[in-house]
């Protein structure tokens, strides 16, 4: 708590920013007075997933441009023990795909909320849709090219 205000911290990669990211940020915003958002650095993402599509500097700029977050910072670790003391947050919000992984923060007096991310949109699904659409367009282009070649 800072000056009697509830501080909420949430974080993510925010690659291929989509509606579920916005839902989680809005939800986190509603839980307190100050919203701090950590954006995973490229190095952190690469250690735990695959290379992000959108570079870190662009992802953090997108989150900073949103009206909900009060403070947007780089996040270079998934361990938040030190962040509790530095940022003095009261609530941590994370997607329910991380269920129970941040329960250790409760020992530091932090309320941990696992946001029901739900089905539908995810960065992984967006990437798969792009690849699928790209393959379809390639097939259509190739069939068009093959048809033009045969008529000559």
For the chain, domains (ranges, CATH) are 7-121 (3.40.50.620)
What is the per-residue pLDDT for 10? 97
User: What is the per-residue pLDDT across 23-74, written as a single tens digit (0 to 9) for each?
Assistant: 999 999 999 999 999 999 999 999 987 888 899 999 999 999 999 999 999 9
Q: What are phi and psi of 21, to 5 degrees?
A: -60, -45
- pLDDT of 34 reads 97
pLDDT value at residue 120: 67
Hey, what are 148's tokens? 């033009």
pLDDT tens digits, 120-150:
666 666 667 776 777 877 788 888 776 666 6
Kindly indicate the confidence band of residue 3, based on its pLDDT and cuts at 50, 70 and 90.
Answer: confident
Which one, of 40, 12, 46, 44, lies nearest residue 28 by Cα?
12
Taking the C-alpha atoms of residue 8 and residue 3, their distance in angstroms, rounded to an integer, is 14
Burial 50-69 (b: 16+ CB within 10 A, else e): eebebebeebbeebeebebb
Phi and psi dihedrals of 72, rounded to 5?
-125, 125
pLDDT in tens, 74-112: 999 999 999 999 999 999 999 888 889 999 999 999 999
pLDDT band at 152 (very low <50, low <70, confident <90, very high): low
Query: Could you tell me the pTM of the whole model?
Result: 0.82
Number of H helices, E strands in the chain: 5, 5
Distances in Å between the Cα of 57 and the Cα atoms of 14, 37, 42, 74, 125 are 12, 14, 9, 9, 23
Sheet architecture: strand order including 7-12:
71-75, 34-40, 7-12, 91-95, 111-115
Write down the pLDDT at residue 137. 78
């Amino acid at each position: 708590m800072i000056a009697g205000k509830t501080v909420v911290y949430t974080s993510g990669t925010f690659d291929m920013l989509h509606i579920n990211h916005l839902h989680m940020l809005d939800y986190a915003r509603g839980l307190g007075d100050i919203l701090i958002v950590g954006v995973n650095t490229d190095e952190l993402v690469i250690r735990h997933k695959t290379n992000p599509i959108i570079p870190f500097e662009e992802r953090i700029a997108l989150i900073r441009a949103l009206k909900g977050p009060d403070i947007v910072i780089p996040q270079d670790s998934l361990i938040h023990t030190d962040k509790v003391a530095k940022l003095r947050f009261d609530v941590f919000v994370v997607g329910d795909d991380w269920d129970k992984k941040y329960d250790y923060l409760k020992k530091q007096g932090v309320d941990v909320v696992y946001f029901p991310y739900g089905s539908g949109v995810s960065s992984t699904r967006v990437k798969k849709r792009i690849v699928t659409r790209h393959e379809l367009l390639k097939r259509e282009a190739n069939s068009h090219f093959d048809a033009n070649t045969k008529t000559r």
